[in-house]
Structure 1
Amino acid sequence: MNVATLVEEARAAGVSLCLQDGKVKMRGPVEAQEALRPSLAPHRDEIRAYLQAENRLAEQPPEDCAGALQSADGGFYLPWGPYLTADNIRVMHVELVWIIEHLAQLEVWPEEHREDVLSRAIRGPLSDLLPNLHHFNQRLTEANAAAAARVAVHARTWRYAR
């Protein structure tokens, strides 16, 4: 039987196989360990080699994770974004307020709605700052394009003086 299949069967039964001081150890329900022991015992050396290879692969990051950081639980991650200073954040907040104010004027928002959106955008978590900038900037671009289209249509209409 294939060693990988044996290891997967053990894991499916709730038994984990690991190396401890060069020996294969089983952890999990005692009944499952006793049931698996006869099928695993003859392949002890192959299972040891398989687990060692698995451990070596786990220690080195995959090629697509080059440059990634590794967390304590073994997962790989990339830093979320660039380092931002307090001045960068203030500038982004000012830009966000300016964008929301202009969008509110173009879309003729009620005063309460504008105040609510502004307070949520400014008091929201820092992780929302860049997504909010992107979202409201995109909406402002669309609103400006719609306003320019209305002006162009209005300029092309004929008016008759009666």
Structure 2
Amino acid sequence: MSVAQLLSRAAAMGVTLRLDGGAVKVGGPRAAREALRPELAAHKPEIIAHLRVAANDATDCAGALRSCDGGLYLPWGPYLSPGDVRDLRAELAELIGSIADAEGWSASCRDEVLVRALRGPLSDLLPNLAHFRERAAQFYAKCQARRLLRSRAWRADDDLTNRGY
């Protein structure tokens, strides 16, 4: 029996199926659920795939386009090849490492930030890069300002000494 036939049979018996995370939740009359349980268990991966497709079709994705493989994508996002993603993640790891060294983070703090940033969803990659680039730029600007202040303070002390103060 195909998944479509099984699902139509379940609907005819008053049984509803829905996804809850990775689990299939079955509702309806108990006798009907018990009668269908072995067949549903045998086709669980196909049922999950069918319910995910149905959920994606029902989702309002204003502006989304459908690719040739059937997936939805947003045309205003940049296209990133796997190599681009790898390079951007390497840059992110380097930025986080340099900020952690400069600010004296503990090893556990550094590891936690790295894991969250590098294993997070791809949609977080570019915002994370922007955040840590800005944070690094601010840190290096503060360091440069401190250097300039130290050099000016030294010159001011030297000028005062030369003037006889």
TM-score, L = length of structure 2: 0.49
Q: Choose 1 or 2 for highest CA Rg.
A: 1
Q: Which structure is richer in relative contact order (CA contacts within 8 A, separation 6 or more)?
A: 1
Question: What TM-score comes out, normalization by structure 1 length?
Answer: 0.49
